[in-house]
Amino acid sequence: MGILGTGIQDGLLLKPVTYPWAMDLYEQAVANTWFPNEIQLGEDLGDFKKMTDEERHAITFLMSYFNPNELLVNKALAFGVYPYINAPECHLYLAKQMWEEANHCMSFEYVLETFPIDRAAAYDSHVTVPSMAAKEEFEVNFIKRMTEETLDISTTEGKKDFVRNLVAYNVILEGIWFYSGFMVALSFRQRNLLRNFGSLMDWVIRDESLHLQFGINLILTVLEENDDLQDPDFAEEIRQMIINAVEMEEQYNRDLLPTGILGLNADYVNQYVKYLADRRLEELGFDAHYNVSNPAKWMATANDTLQLVNFFEATNTSYEVNAQSTKK
Ligand SMILES: [Fe+2]
Ligand SMILES: [Fe+2]
């Protein structure tokens, strides 16, 4: 029996653990438990009031995007990932991840409460700003394959839809789009502004780097265990999804930073997006597509790149090796 499955009475006994990487990530996630109220934002409120309109717009825009999308990730896990997996160690991890996404949502609510941001206007943006709405629409279309259609995980097409959804949420939304926002959010700390908000983001990023490792290991395992997914057309489709996602992010970042703030403009952010997309492509076993340097070298490299794993390559790697290779 592989990692995929829908039997309710399967996967009720944890030991022996079949996928040690999932157990290891669960333990790391539990060790990384934190609460937003541990961070005081009072000092940052003073910074926020002194910032320019475009700087405040950028923070508001990020909150507008992050907040609904943290909850959207949970829908993708609940409807698109958890039901099709039977390994109990994966279920443990996904339960912790879902709490973390809830905790991220509450962290951004805490920011919305603390800073003078009009919550209703911020909430509206995810449907009224076309570049933001387009990203959400892209994601929603993948989860609809599970909620509005029937997904049979025993078929090749069902397994492909499962992988497409993981790529859309884990690799693209969490692994590229969120990281581009994290970089902009942390750029303020580079200028000695919003330092406590930066600490809050550090905690979120620590969680997200585990989410990314879990998702990538899960994709790798599903591909290894299912020969029918080792197909060049499917591989090309996945590669193209990532390239399309970069184009969507470029437009979004032009709306995020219409004219640019001190030390940062949309081109700078978009170069970082391309750098990130190349890392994700390589983690999936593809060649880099953009071949650009990292403009934001000050972002901890440990947070935005993973050890390479060869996804779409024919050679099989053992799960134990994978567990080792993704350990920091
Ligand atoms: Fe999150
Ligand atoms: Fe996440």
Could you write out the DSSP letters of every residue in 188-200?
HHHTT-SHHHHHH
Q: Are 44 and 119 in contact (CB under 8 A)?
A: no
**Please, which residues have CB less than 5 A from ligand 1, an ion?**
70, 101, 104
Say what the pLDDT of residue 301 is.
53
Say what the pLDDT of residue 305 is.
55
Say what the pLDDT of residue 307 is.
42
How many whole angstroms from 177 Cα to the centroid of ligand 1? 11
How many whole angstroms from 69 Cα to the centroid of ligand 1? 8
How many whole angstroms from 238 Cα to the centroid of ligand 2? 20
Ligand nearest to the CA of 93: 2
- Strand, helix or coil for residue 296: coil
Ligand nearest to the CA of 170: 2
Neighbours of 40 (CB within 10 A): 11
Total-model pTM:
0.91
How many whole angstroms from 206 Cα to the centroid of ligand 2? 10
* Residues whose CB falls within 8 Å of the CB of residue 217, separated by 6 or more in sequence, listed in order: 19, 21, 22, 25, 309, 322, 323, 326
The DSSP secondary-structure symbol of 37 reads: G
How many whole angstroms from 256 Cα to the centroid of ligand 1? 19
Do you know the residue count of the chain? 328
Ligand nearest to the CA of 66: 1
Ligand nearest to the CA of 71: 1
Q: Give the Å distances, CA to CA, from 197 to 18, 75, 108, 174, 209.
A: 39, 26, 10, 19, 18
Amino acid making up residue 310: N
Ordered per-residue pLDDT tens for the chain, 328 residues: 799 999 999 999 999 999 999 999 999 999 999 999 999 999 999 999 999 999 999 999 999 999 999 999 999 999 999 999 999 999 999 999 999 999 999 999 999 999 999 999 999 999 999 999 999 999 999 999 999 999 999 999 999 999 999 999 999 999 999 999 999 999 999 999 999 999 999 999 999 999 999 999 999 999 999 999 999 999 999 999 999 999 999 999 999 999 999 889 999 999 999 999 999 999 999 999 999 999 998 886 545 555 433 334 333 333 333 334 433 3
| Euclidean distance between CA atoms 127 and 125, whole angstroms | 5
Is 110 in the active site? yes
Catalytic residue among 82, 93, 110, 123: 110
Q: What structural domains does the chain harbor? A: 20-321 (1.10.620.20)
How many whole angstroms from 217 Cα to the centroid of ligand 2? 15
